Amino acid sequence: MTPLRSLCCEASSIWTLSTDQDCGKLKKQISHLTFVQVGTAAATSFSFIEDAFSSWDGMSGGNVIGPIYLGILALGWCYVLSAQLVEMRGEGSSMQYSLYQTGYSNESLPDSSQVHVIDVGEVDASVARWWSALLAPNEGWKATVKQTPQGEFLAPWSVSRACETHFSIKHKGTLSPDPDPTPLSSERAFEALVEFARLHELQSQSPIALTMALTIPAHKYYRFSAKLPLPRATGFKSITTPSDAEWMNLKEDVPYYMTLSCSPEVMMSTFCGAFWEQDVPCNLVSPWLHPIINEVLGALPEDGLEVLAFIGTICQPRFSAFWIGVIASGLGPEILHRVRGGHPPLDRVAFPWTGCPQSFMDIAGSGPYTCKDPNYILREDVWRLTNYPSTDGDNESYQHGPRVPWAPCGASLTKDCALYVTAHLDCPRHGYEYDHWVWYLPGGTIIQDRGFSERITPAVSESHFDNIHLKTRREFERTQLDQEASREASGQVFLWFFFGGEGLPSERIYQEEWLKEIWENNMSEFGGGEFDDGEVPEPVVKFGEFVDSWLDTVS
């Protein structure tokens, strides 16, 4: 598979230990290096699909009939995001229109029944030209963020229309004789988008369209073409109209949403996290996921996955607008693919950025570390304390957390635990909290970014869906349960413990045949040495039948 070329910015997330949890044995602050994608070598392909999100009846209790222009608004947001990034980067970046354009309604058109006429109202020539570029086939505009000897890099929200859908622009005003005027700034494009939304009373759709645009980098990262819903003449819309202040809040918050959008793994981690449940251990992952993933969602066609959006909004109300956006843009099948195997992607900053916990490591737990029988400690707490960095550095090889969200099942004898675990048995619950973000810019400049203020952003962060319903009631066929997801989750979470460098623990569970074989095969593969957990490939053996009996009996 050809690797994707991307332009990335180096950054770190900074985490601090709460003062009231400081026992003197843990580091007070830790940082995790990461990269944020700010450029892509090619635009993301997209098509308008007639049946996309066809069963969606609206976002709230309103029942006023009107047009649905989610796909059109999403394209407008792609331009706004791209133009804003170009303006932020300054010298060496540029916006320009291409030769591809969409015609106007007073020009010669193909069969009118096959043409979608988009009324943009009374606009000047520069805005009309912007709409012509926005709805053009292929790439109607180009946002270049950097030129290099190896080629140019485009803004991550750059898109290229692959379908042959015909559009025509209807507007009041005089066309410009200049065939290539200066492209609109992000501010003017945003204003044009707001005016279009007001013209058609689409204000309630605009935040959803923004989230659709924000998923475009994830489509590119996971090699999925975006699928946008065609404009529809009628549909449901909210009675509520956002105020000017809400529009301005939305625009002011765009840079933060851009950072989230430029982190596709954070986005995917959050979406997959909707299927994680704190009380489900690794050996019960299959029976937990099977009914919803295989019986309900697995029976639906790709264009019928709007039910997945509703499930997401129920599980993650803070991320509800993003759920509507990601399903409306066609990334639902990839989310299901990532969840189904029990080994979804995880990103450490996803929880603090979105407010949606998605791993047992995101939760500090409660109560004392030891169980009712003080000779035992839950394995999930052993894993947490093993991951927390001790001041003497004894557990540095565990600095990367487990690569699956599911907690290890059962409990360990405290006498079998390492000193950096037992040293905290009498401590209050420890936990590191996200503090801030650090950008490392060219030339050595370092910027600390505190992110959102404490206020809630009503425009996108949390939308209310009080009247979610489907058009028809569905019955789902029962299918046979397999243990593949439980095998994968269990194997991965225990492999993390193996690979920390302590060797095979002495507990009885580690003498189970399937765990011994995984250990022996992987250690022979890597020569028994220590290595960075971030570089650990998939296990060289399948967990197979060794785990099946263990899944139901391990304590």
For the chain, the domain total comes to 1
pLDDT digits 0-9 by tens, 518-529: 666 666 554 444
Please report which helix (H) or strand (E) contains residue 118, including its range: strand 115-122
Categorize the per-residue pLDDT at 397 as very low, low, confident or very high, splitting at 50, 70 and 90: confident
Structure confidence at residue 472 (pLDDT): 59
Structure-block tokens of residue 126: 């520069």
Q: Return d(Cα 332, Cα 327) in angstroms, integer.
A: 5
Q: How far is CA 48 from CA 42, 120, 159, 268, in A?
A: 19, 19, 12, 23
pLDDT (average), residues 123-145: 94
> Which of 143, 78, 133 minimizes the C-alpha distance to 100?
133
Least confident of 27-41, 160-174, 451-465, 515-529: 451-465
Least confident of 88-97, 227-236, 542-551: 542-551
pLDDT (average), residues 151-164: 95
Q: How far is CA 223 from CA 64, 271, 354, 467, in A?
A: 37, 17, 24, 34
Report the relative pairing of strands 141-148 and 432-440 from DSSP bridges.
Answer: unpaired
Q: Does some domain include residue 204?
A: yes
Would the pLDDT of 461 be above 60? no
The residues pairing with 94 across neighbouring beta strands, listed in sequence order, are 144
Categorize the per-residue pLDDT at 503 as very low, low, confident or very high, splitting at 50, 70 and 90: low
Least confident of 285-294, 305-314, 535-544: 535-544
Specify whether the CB–CB gap between 364 and 431 falls below 8 A.
yes
- The range of the structural domain enclosing residue 233 comes to 37-262
Categorize the per-residue pLDDT at 475 as very low, low, confident or very high, splitting at 50, 70 and 90: low
Q: Does some domain include residue 412?
A: no
Tokens 């990601």 — which residue? 326
Residues 6+ apart with CB under 8 A from 185: 83, 87
> Which of 289, 399, 420 minimizes the C-alpha distance to 348?
399
Specify whether the CB–CB gap between 230 and 165 falls below 8 A.
yes
SS in 3 state form for 184-205? CCHHHHHHHHHHHHHHCCCHHH
Cβ atoms within 10 Å of 454's Cβ, excluding its own: 4
> Which of 477, 466, 490 minimizes the C-alpha distance to 543?
490
Categorize the per-residue pLDDT at 92 as very low, low, confident or very high, splitting at 50, 70 and 90: confident
Q: How far is CA 325 from CA 24, 53, 97, 408, in A?
A: 45, 10, 27, 33
Q: Taken in order 232, 235, 241, 242, is the CA torsion positive or negative? A: negative
Q: Does some domain include residue 146?
A: yes
Q: How far is CA 307 from CA 148, 431, 462, in A?
A: 44, 36, 19
Cβ atoms within 10 Å of 272's Cβ, excluding its own: 23
The residues pairing with 105 across neighbouring beta strands, listed in sequence order, are none
Specify whether the CB–CB gap between 185 and 164 falls below 8 A.
no
Q: Is 13 helix (H, G, I), strand (E, B) or coil?
A: strand
Q: How far is CA 389 from CA 11, 321, 358, 397, 538, in A?
A: 20, 36, 21, 10, 25
Q: Return d(Cα 487, Cα 554) in angstroms, integer.
A: 13
Specify whether the CB–CB gap between 257 and 460 falls below 8 A.
yes
The full DSSP string for 124-157 is -HHHHHHHHHHT-SB-SEEEEEEEETTEEEE-TT
Categorize the per-residue pLDDT at 204 as very low, low, confident or very high, splitting at 50, 70 and 90: confident
Would the pLDDT of 412 be above 50? yes
Would the pLDDT of 158 be above 50? yes
Would the pLDDT of 423 be above 90? yes
pLDDT (average), residues 536-551: 38
Q: Does some domain include residue 235?
A: yes
Give the amino acid at 116: H
Structure confidence at residue 544 (pLDDT): 40
Cβ atoms within 10 Å of 15's Cβ, excluding its own: 21
Would the pLDDT of 291 be above 70? yes
Specify whether the CB–CB gap between 398 and 386 falls below 8 A.
yes
Q: Above pLDDT 70, what percent of the chain?
A: 78
Least confident of 42-51, 63-72, 246-255, 311-320: 63-72
Structure confidence at residue 99 (pLDDT): 92
Would the pLDDT of 532 be above 60? no
Q: Does some domain include residue 216?
A: yes
Q: Return d(Cα 382, Cα 369) in angstroms, integer.
A: 9
Structure confidence at residue 362 (pLDDT): 95
pLDDT (average), residues 401-419: 93
> Which of 270, 307, 273, 271 minimizes the C-alpha distance to 292?
307
Q: Does some domain include residue 380?
A: no
The residues pairing with 161 across neighbouring beta strands, listed in sequence order, are 46, 138
Would the pLDDT of 508 be above 70? yes
Structure confidence at residue 511 (pLDDT): 74
Categorize the per-residue pLDDT at 509 as very low, low, confident or very high, splitting at 50, 70 and 90: confident
Q: What is the mean pLDDT of the chain?
A: 83
Structure confidence at residue 543 (pLDDT): 37
Categorize the per-residue pLDDT at 60 as very low, low, confident or very high, splitting at 50, 70 and 90: very low
Would the pLDDT of 105 be above 60? yes
pLDDT (average), residues 135-147: 95
Q: Above pLDDT 90, what percent of the chain?
A: 54
Would the pLDDT of 211 be above 90? yes
Query: 68 or 378, which is more confident?
Result: 378
Tell me which range, 272-276, 342-346, 466-470, is most confidently predicted by mean pLDDT.
Answer: 272-276
Structure confidence at residue 313 (pLDDT): 92
Strand intervals (E) in 446-515: 446-449
> Which of 378, 36, 68 minimizes the C-alpha distance to 204?
68
Q: Does some domain include residue 193?
A: yes
pLDDT digits 0-9 by tens, 367-379: 999 999 999 999 9
The phi-psi region of residue 451 (left if phi > 0; otherwise alpha if psi is between -120 and 50; otherwise beta) is left
pLDDT (average), residues 125-138: 94
The full DSSP string for 373-420 is STTEEEHHHHHHHHHSPBTT-TTGGG-SPPSSSSBPPSEEEGGGS-HH
Would the pLDDT of 465 be above 60? no
Q: How far is CA 405 from CA 240, 342, 361, in A?
A: 38, 9, 7
Would the pLDDT of 117 be above 50? yes
Q: Does some domain include residue 415?
A: no
Spatial strand order of the sheet with 44-49 comes to 159-161, 44-49, 226-229
Structure confidence at residue 515 (pLDDT): 67
Report the relative pairing of strands 6-17 and 29-40 from DSSP bridges.
Answer: antiparallel
Structure confidence at residue 512 (pLDDT): 73
The phi-psi region of residue 220 (left if phi > 0; otherwise alpha if psi is between -120 and 50; otherwise beta) is alpha
The residues pairing with 39 across neighbouring beta strands, listed in sequence order, are 7
Residues 120, 108, 102: CA angle, nearest 5 degrees: 45
Would the pLDDT of 253 be above 50? yes
Least confident of 415-419, 449-453, 483-487: 449-453
